[in-house]
Chains A and B, each alone.
Chain A
Amino acid sequence: MSKLQGNTAIQRSEHRFAIITALPGLIALIVLVAGPLLYMFFNSLFIKTLAAPIPPQFNWFGNYGKVLSDSRFWNAFKNTMIIMGVGIPVQAFLGLTIALLLSKPFPGSRVIVAMFLIPVMITPIVSGFQWKIILNQRFGPMNYLLGILIGMEPKSWLAEPFLAMVSILIMDTWQWTPFVTVVLLAGLSAIPKQVYEASSVDGSTMWGTLWRVTLPLLKPMFTLVVLLRIIFIFKIFDPVYILTGGGPGISTETLSLLTYITGFKNFNVGITSTLAVVQLIAMVIIAKLFMKLVMGRKER
């Protein structure tokens, strides 16, 4: 900021240039993005519905109390946390294993890494749909393959609450482990080769080097990838909507899904807005962490 606070004519003209170039984009952002968010916060203070023509009624922070005491909110919160708590560690472990396997380049390794990455950019609803086929109880290959490999009885993956959650975790792990892998690969390639050489001349074994050198040096990348995964899981909607639709019952309903259902199935504007504000606050906190992480790294 201090660079812009000018007093000479030149500085004023620089300042003007910076503002003029920023303006079109800034206006678009504020009108289309910030405006609705403010409107949303405003709505969260009212009892308001689209289902019936009842005039909105000001309710202070009553909606917030209602949301925070609603068991369905806590159920969605719990489900979101389960996906994070189980999915992220599993993905971190698998991602690290694959990253270590791929860390030493070999002919064609770039292509292999690119193929691994395909799940990340797949249209989300398609990934929901493809797992719906694969996990199909009657003719899906999952039951077939598990049957011949470990002799498991056919399961109705999407009809039982526990298995439905497992299904979502499988899907999420499939889609995002490769992402963890490439981020960690980037971290691994940033570790100077000479540090490994120093460790081997110093007499350390392969495992010793992994524990004493590689993993500690990957820590910032782990932090980053976990943070990003938390953000993505907060956002997750399309594949869950397609795969389980939150069911059976509400056993796999996530926060995003709950917000959608409250808004566009039940048309409860006040409560939906409240749910949205709560999630926005969580995101702002995470964004702050991300900024700290990214900015902190730049300084080093």
Chain B
Amino acid sequence: MNREMLNRDELARKKRIKMILSIIRFLLIGIFLLIFMFPVYWIAIGAFKVEGEFYNFPPVFWPSQFSFENFERAFTMFNGTKGLVDSLIVAGANTVIVICFGVLLAYSMGRFKTGGDNLSFFVISLLFAPPVISAIPLFMIFRTLSMLDTYRVLYLSYILFNMPFGVWIMKGFFEDIPPGIEHAALLDGYSRWQAFRKYVLPLAVPGIAVTALFVFIFSWNEFLFALIFTRSSVETLTITLSGMIGGHQIHWGELSALSLVAILPGIILTLFFQKYLVRGLTFGAVKG
């Protein structure tokens, strides 16, 4: 009986320690979450502040009233609408090009090892190279072709970083599809091309769709090439944003409002495609 009592005590003590540990754990998670979410919160809250609240000290952590006038002004007075539309055009066109050209190359590399390790290495090197290093030669070529400040110049130049990315990631998706599927289709009496169209491509659709989303967001977020290759007739969202910070007076409210719009696609990808996000960001090295 005595021994049992001892055991009861010990059990209670263990339960207590376990509880304290888990409280500390969740407290720490909460603190980290707070820190990492704060900048995003600050943008979001800033978008709804009225003009004067920006210059208050201590800063306003919760606006007295939520106003939509920053959004209104960002879209009407600060070129926000053009930025939005141009970003959609450029990112959309680039995504279509990269996926259409990339899918077949990725399939060929993934299934037939076309080009072997050398081509893989070539693609991955391009993927890792800082875009700024291609800016000068591209600028000179585009200038010679009189393509500066057009839509074409952007969605073509974005191929530079998006094509290696798309090909590399989709290659991984095709490698995940067992070759037995095609063997079975060949035995059934289909040609290579039919086997690809009828059985392999449908299987790869989810992977291709997520890759497309990535490519779209990378184009959407792009700033450097847009800064160098376009001037006034084309103006993507990132340029609109940087324009707002460059002048004599920074329009904090409108900037926050437009920033909030700009980061939405990325946030959506993060929240709904978490599994693929890790795979994409590690270039397929971690399969989420």
Contact = CB atoms under 8 A, between A and B. Distances in A.
- A–B direct contact (CB < 8 Å): yes
Interface of A: 1, 3-4, 14, 17-19, 21-22, 24-26, 28-29, 32-37, 39-40, 43, 50, 97-98, 101-102, 110-127, 129-134, 138-141, 144, 174, 177-179, 182-183, 186-187, 221, 224, 228, 231, 234-235, 237-238, 241-242, 255-256, 259-260, 263-264, 269, 272-273, 275-277, 279-280, 283-284, 286-288, 290-291, 293-294, 297
Given A24-B104, A276-B134, A117 B277 contact: yes
Contact of A259 (B103, B124, B132, B221): B132
B124 A21 contact: no
Interface centre among A14, A36, A102 (most CB of B within 10 A): A36
B101 A122 contact: no
Contacts of A242: 242, 245
B134 A224 contact: no
- Give 9 closest A-B pairs by Cβ, nearest first: A25-B105, A276-B133, A121-B266, A18-B112, A22-B108, A36-B137, A21-B108, A40-B137, A287-B125
A183 B286 contact: yes
A126 B36 contact: no
Given A21-B108, A237-B224, A273-B137, A33 B286 contact: no
Given A22-B115, A32-B163, A276-B133, 16 more contacts: A1-B113, A37-B134, A118-B266, A118-B271, A119-B36, A126-B43, A140-B59, A183-B282, A183-B286, A237-B223, A238-B223, A241-B223, A263-B136, A276-B134, A286-B128, A290-B124
A101 B271 contact: no
A123 B259 contact: yes
28 contacts: A24-B101, A25-B104, A26-B115, A28-B163, A29-B163, A32-B156, A34-B122, A35-B141, A40-B136, A114-B270, A116-B32, A118-B40, A120-B281, A126-B241, A126-B262, A129-B245, A130-B259, A133-B46, A174-B35, A174-B36, A174-B39, A183-B278, A237-B223, A238-B224, A260-B224, A280-B125, A288-B121, A291-B117
Contact of A291 (B107, B120, B156): B120
B62 interface: no
Interface in B153-203: 156-157, 159-160, 163-164, 167, 192-193, 196
Contacts of A36: 134, 137-138, 141, 160
Interface string B21-40: 00001001100110111111
A121 B217 contact: yes
Nearest to B286: A186
Given A98-B32, A122-B40, A242-B242, A182 B120 contact: no
B164 A112 contact: no
Interface stretch (B6-14, B49-57, B64-72, B204-212): B49-57
